[in-house]
Amino acid sequence: MGATGGLTLVFGLPLAAALFFFALSAYERRMGLTTGLGFFQRNGLAVGLYLVLAVGFWVFFVIVLPQLSMVDMSFRPKLPPAQMGGPKDVFTLENYRYFLFGSTTSTSSWNWIHLKAFALTIGVSIAITLFNFALCYPIAFHMAQSSGAARLRILLLLLIIPYWVNEILRAFAFRVLLSSGGIINKLLLGSGLIVEPIDFLGADIGLYMGLSYAYLLMMVFPLYSAIESLDKNQIEAARDLGAPWWHIHLNVVMPHAKPGIASGCTLVFMLCAGALAAPLVLAGPRTLWFTPIVYDRFYQAFNWPQGAAYAFILLISCVVFVLAVLKLFRLSLGEITR
């Protein structure tokens, strides 16, 4: 299939889906299956048009079509502009093959550099998600259940300050903190615990700390709002019945806060796996995080189809993670995005 075939697909699929739903609703209205006012009757023409145009532009031109055209591009060979749409512009799995096996001229059997970076990114993101959950759960619980209104306001304000400092500056703060002449090394040297400065950044400790730090609040806020809606009496009752504290958390608080836990975990994982700033600023010279590789496919190698394929691989792994979390917690998507 040629390029026009692909483009027809990109435009055609969403259009067909929209037409299908439209026809379905028109059919049901005619058959009297749905009652009540029609869309334009209910909103009036002007407001109705605004709603249709705004949502239509958003859904099609901002969300769906770009994603589809990225997927479409990932199945194409890299060609000079003149040959695009020509006979050589056919669907191919080349870009995905490259991710697994590397260039055809390389001697090793697998593309270890990229595969390792991918595995590292996913593994570390999961570890950081768990670490952040453990770190944030107590404070979220404290804020939601046992602190007074005035204290809560101060805690929230303290939490909000780092929230709006952008990712690059947060990563930069860790570089200042952990560099070989930084304050941590000076403190350790001064106390005599070490004799030589520790290379935190080279050992990637800086990267892991920076990532955990950057997305700490994405864990605190969902947890806080989920635990907050729990009735205090339930905890009291459990305690009166003699439940030990870890029982109360495991069997009363956590089941109630399930949507918040799931939403915090998916957010932190997704942001870690897709982080670009922290790896650029904090990663050691030998570390390869997956997102900078994707970036380089575009703006160093100028191989856009390959970059699109790599981006799609990252997207798929995020979707798989979200679905796994939903399955694990037995939740629906609507419950975690509140």
Partner 1 sequence: MTSGPLQRILFAVYIVVFFLYLLGPLAVMGISAFNTPQYPQVWPIEGFTLDWFSQLFADQDMMYGLRTSLWIGVLVVCISVPIGLAGAIVMTQIQPRVRSAYYLVVVSPVLTPGIIIGISTVVFWREFTTLTGTRFLYDGIILTVIGQSSFISAYCMLIILARLQRFDQAQQEAALDLGATYPQVFRHILLPFLQPALFSAAILAFLSSFENYNTTTFAILSDKTLTTVLAGRVRQGSTPVISALAVIIVVVTVVGAIAYELWKRRADAAAGRRLRAAQMAEENELAGTAEPAAA
Q: Which of 2, 77, 162, 202 binds partner 1 (CB under 8 A)?
A: 162
- Residues 237-276, one symbol each (x = binds partner 1 by CB under 8 A, - = not), give --------x--x-----------------xx--xx-xxxx
- By C-beta, is 104 or 299 nearer to partner 1? 299
Asked if 102 and 110 touch (Cβ cutoff 8 Å), the reply is yes
Asked if 230 and 260 touch (Cβ cutoff 8 Å), the reply is no
Report in angstroms how near the CB of residue 296 gets to partner 1 at its nearest: 12
- Residues 141-160, one symbol each (x = binds partner 1 by CB under 8 A, - = not), give xx---x------x---xxxx
Asked if 171 and 214 touch (Cβ cutoff 8 Å), the reply is yes
Report in angstroms how near the CB of residue 125 gets to partner 1 at its nearest: 11
Q: Which of 5, 43, 77, 88 binds partner 1 (CB under 8 A)?
A: 43
The residues near 215 (Cβ < 8 Å, ≥ 6 apart) are: 128, 132, 267, 268, 271, 272
Angle at 217 between CA 251 and CA 116, to 5 degrees: 90
The alpha carbons of the chain give a radius of gyration, in whole angstroms, of: 26
Residue 298 binds partner 1, judged by CB under 8 A = yes
- Residues 305-334, one symbol each (x = binds partner 1 by CB under 8 A, - = not), give --xx--xx-xx--x---x----------xx
- By C-beta, is 115 or 155 nearer to partner 1? 155
Q: Count other C-beta atoms under 10 Å from residue 32's C-beta.
A: 7
- By C-beta, is 67 or 287 nearer to partner 1? 67
Burial of 128 (0-12, 13-18, 19+ CB in 10 A): buried
Cα–Cα distance, 69 to 154 (Å, whole number):
46
Cα–Cα distance, 207 to 39 (Å, whole number):
51
Site residues for partner 1, 211-240, by CB under 8 A, read 213, 216
Report in angstroms how near the CB of residue 169 gets to partner 1 at its nearest: 4
Q: Is 192 left (phi over 0), alpha (psi -120 to 50) or beta?
A: left
Residue 186 binds partner 1, judged by CB under 8 A = yes
Report in angstroms how near the CB of residue 106 gets to partner 1 at its nearest: 25
Site residues for partner 1, 277-296, by CB under 8 A, read 277, 280-281, 291, 294-295
Site residues for partner 1, 76-95, by CB under 8 A, read none
Report in angstroms how near the CB of residue 47 gets to partner 1 at its nearest: 5
Asked if 292 and 219 touch (Cβ cutoff 8 Å), the reply is no
Backbone dihedral angles phi then psi of residue 211, each to the nearest 5 degrees: -65, -45
- By C-beta, is 110 or 154 nearer to partner 1? 154
